[in-house]
């Protein structure tokens, strides 16, 4: 597109917005409302997934060793497990620590003293292996079970499946809501552009008669839709930034005792993704809505 054509399209697009300011404001308002709801939903989903991801790293498998295994072999097993891509960390728990933890949790001091220096859990040294992603648990467990010197691997498939189902559910709900919001926004943009076309119907007919190309006629309406999309995206971004920042600060300060176990994403991390995504959605809605509408109406003049 030549610079002169671009300037013409920009001017005409702005004029169209002024001419149909009521419909333009309605479209901007709808896009803003949709993206505001999208932003709120995005806050909930990404923080929920972040909490789930953090919780996943606390889910692990416990590796027990064969009787009579040497300390060197135990260390080798630990080294083999650590290099796996599924593993986030490995913690060694000696038989002595296991016995101390057991006494503290389940035995009274009097009953514990009856064992003297004997350790009934002498063969219970283990590795607690924490995983990056619980969906990788099965492959990791299968690998560890085949390591020489490993007697048993304790793990919970139900916990892993629960986390996987939560993530899948969040993904499906997100996709469904986004599709609905996009559909509503595109419809409103289409209505706005249709009004602009009806106002300039005679002008478009004359332009077609004097040989103006479809792309030349189409450009101002596409610019109009894109401008509406950009404005509609910027408004909720500004509002969402202050809301999220204030809300997280308020929650962490006022309700620290309730939410101390939960970790929220920082404002910067959230908006590094939300800003470009919202702008792309706004521009995309404006472009698609205006392009489809003007294309349909130009066919009437051919």
pLDDT in tens, 47-71: 877 776 666 666 678 888 887 788 8
**Is the Cβ–Cβ distance between 232 and 27 less than 8 Å?**
yes
pLDDT of res. 1 = 54
List alpha helices for the chain, DSSP H: 3-19, 21-56, 71-82, 95-106, 109-113, 137-145, 157-199, 201-209, 214-254, 256-259, 267-298
Same domain, 275 and 181: yes
Is pLDDT of 155 > 80?
no
Provide mean pLDDT across the span 174-194: 70
CB–CB of 149/64 below 8 Å?
Answer: no
Supply the range of the domain harboring residue 100.
60-155
- The phi, psi pair for 63, rounded to 5°, reads -110, 120
- Three-class secondary structure of residue 123 per DSSP: coil
| Residues 65 and 90 occupy one common structural domain | yes
- Residue 251, number of CB atoms within 10 A of its CB: 14
The answer on 119 and 243 residing in a single domain is no
Q: Are 175 and 290 found together in one domain? A: yes
Q: Half-sphere exposure (CA, 13 Å, Cβ side) for 47? A: 17
Show which of 134, 155, 176 is a domain's final residue: 155
pLDDT in tens, 220-246: 878 888 888 899 889 999 999 988 888
Residues 126, 244, single domain; the answer is no
166 and 254 co-located in one domain: yes
Residues 64 and 45 in one domain: no
Give the helix/strand (H/E) hosting 121: none
Q: How far apart are CA 123 and CA 129, in angstroms?
A: 18
Cα 216 from Cα 223, distance rounded (Å): 11
127: which strand partners? 63, 92
Q: Please tell me whether residue 107 adopts helix, strand or coil conformation.
A: coil
**154 contacts 64 by C-beta, under 8 angstroms:** yes
From 140, 155, 170, the end of a domain falls on 155
Q: Over pLDDT 70: what percentage of the chain?
A: 70
């Amino acid at each position: 597109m030549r610079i002169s054509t671009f300037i013409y399209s920009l001017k005409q697009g702005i004029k169209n917005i002024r001419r149909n300011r009521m419909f333009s404001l309605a479209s901007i308002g709808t896009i803003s409302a949709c993206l505001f709801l999208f932003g709120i939903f995005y806050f909930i989903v990404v923080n929920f997934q972040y909490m789930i991801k953090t919780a996943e790293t606390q889910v692990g498998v416990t590796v027990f060793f064969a009787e009579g295994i040497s300390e060197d072999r135990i260390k080798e097993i630990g080294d083999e497990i650590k290099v796996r891509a599924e593993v986030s960390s490995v913690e060694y728990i000696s038989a002595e620590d296991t016995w101390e933890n057991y006494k503290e949790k389940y035995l009274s001091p009097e009953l514990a003293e009856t064992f003297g220096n004997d350790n009934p859990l002498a063969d219970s040294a283990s590795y607690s292996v924490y995983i990056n992603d619980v969906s990788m648990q099965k492959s990791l467990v299968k690998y560890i079970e085949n390591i020489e010197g490993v007697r048993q691997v304790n793990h919970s498939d139900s916990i892993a499946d629960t986390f996987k189902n939560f993530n899948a559910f969040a993904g499906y709900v997100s996709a469904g809501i986004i599709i609905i919001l996009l559909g509503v926004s595109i419809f409103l943009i289409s209505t706005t552009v249709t009004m602009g076309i009806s106002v300039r119907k005679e002008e478009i007919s004359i332009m077609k008669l004097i040989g103006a190309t479809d792309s030349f006629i189409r450009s101002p309406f596409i610019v109009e839709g894109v401008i509406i999309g950009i404005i509609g995206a910027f408004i909720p971004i500004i509002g969402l930034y202050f809301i999220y920042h204030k809300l997280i600060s308020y929650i962490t300060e006022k309700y620290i005792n309730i939410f101390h176990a939960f970790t929220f994403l920082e404002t910067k991390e959230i908006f590094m993704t939300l800003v470009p995504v919202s702008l792309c959605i706004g521009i995309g809605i404006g472009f698609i809505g205006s392009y489809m509408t003007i294309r349909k109406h130009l066919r009437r003049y051919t």
